[in-house]
Amino acid sequence: MTVNQQTLQQGLHLCLNSTDLDWLGTKQEGKVRDSYSLSDGTRLIVTTDRISAFDRSIGTLPFKGQVLNQLAAWWFEQSKDLVPNHFLERVDPAAMKVIECTPLPVEFVMRAYLTGVTSTSVWTHYEKGERIFCGHTLPDGLVHNGPLPKAILTPSTKAEHGGHDQSVSREELLKANVIGAKDFDQVADFAHRLFAFGQAHCAKQGLILVDTKYEFGKTSDGTIVLIDEVHTPDSSRFWFASSYKQRLEAGLAPESFDKEYLRAWLKGQGFIGEGAVPTLPDDVRIEAARRYIQACESIYGQAFIPDLQEPHDRLRKNLSS
């Protein structure tokens, strides 16, 4: 990894926790991203350094916003001929300009392995003895962190800020009139295409794309496009292919560099989404940031160069035009 310990420590004091760019337009604040409707009919998305887990905001990580923004922009460019997306251009290390869209009220989660620690994870349900997950029948005899018979689409409801997402089936979504059958099937096809594309690329890089979350929206003319982010450590789980089989046979957790490290640390503190959020120690924040940067560099094979300017001043300067 190209970013050294000293730079990571410096980054602890350069975290972008919030934005105040109301002069650009109306602000919408998500768990990680702040976005602004612009006068030209587009939208500015600023990826902050906030980190969320178990559907709660738990603090900030050095350079996380820059990593996610850079990686998402790269994936959007790589996959634009496969599935249409909302990306227009990067306008700051942590911000991009996109097409204005109306988000669909469903998250589309693709899974290829029996893993996870959250209440919506396939392993949590399987461990309890459940064999039908989001409409998919799973056979007996599968092992923790082992592969599923095939990649499956497991939709999830979008909870309000502070709430918890719920895994649901296609039939449940249609029955509740959350989304129409035509839109669902179009997005399901997009999700399968993107996941296969991501798995193939990651395999070339010595990585396993275990699972991922996609979000989609509609443009003003009704076109469905990929939005938000794609194949980042926030939305996806990655394992190292070189050690996967050996660790699986030994009953060890696969080596990873995604958000699972933080989820495991939080779970070790007794936190899985309810109650007070534990304070992240600086060493945990630095290690998590190191993993995000390693993911970025491993996925597209280039060095990540962090911007060390004060982030609020940099944003105002870059966005003033």
Q: Please compute, for residue 225, the number of CA atoms within 13 A of its CA located in the half-sphere on the CB side.
A: 23
* DSSP secondary structure code for residue 265 in this structure: H
How far is Cα 10 from Cα 263, in angstroms, rounded to an integer?
Answer: 24
Q: Is the dihedral of CA 87, 61, 109, 192 positive or negative?
A: positive
- Cβ proximity of 101 and 217 under 8 Å: yes
Average pLDDT over residues 201-215: 96
Q: Name the helix (H) or strand (E) containing 77.
A: helix 64-79
Can you list the alpha helix ranges (DSSP code H) found in 205-310?
241-249, 260-268, 282-300
Say if pTM beats, i.e. exceeds, 0.85: yes
pLDDT at position 185 over 60: yes
**pLDDT tens, residue by residue, 35-64:** 999 999 899 999 999 999 888 899 999 999
**pLDDT tens, residue by residue, 286-321:** 999 999 999 899 998 889 999 999 999 999 999 987
Strand ranges inside 63-135, DSSP E: 87-92, 95-99, 102-103, 106-113, 132-133
Three-class DSSP category at 301: coil
φ, ψ dihedrals at 202, nearest 5°:
-65, -35
How far is Cα 93 from Cα 259, in angstroms, rounded to an integer?
Answer: 21
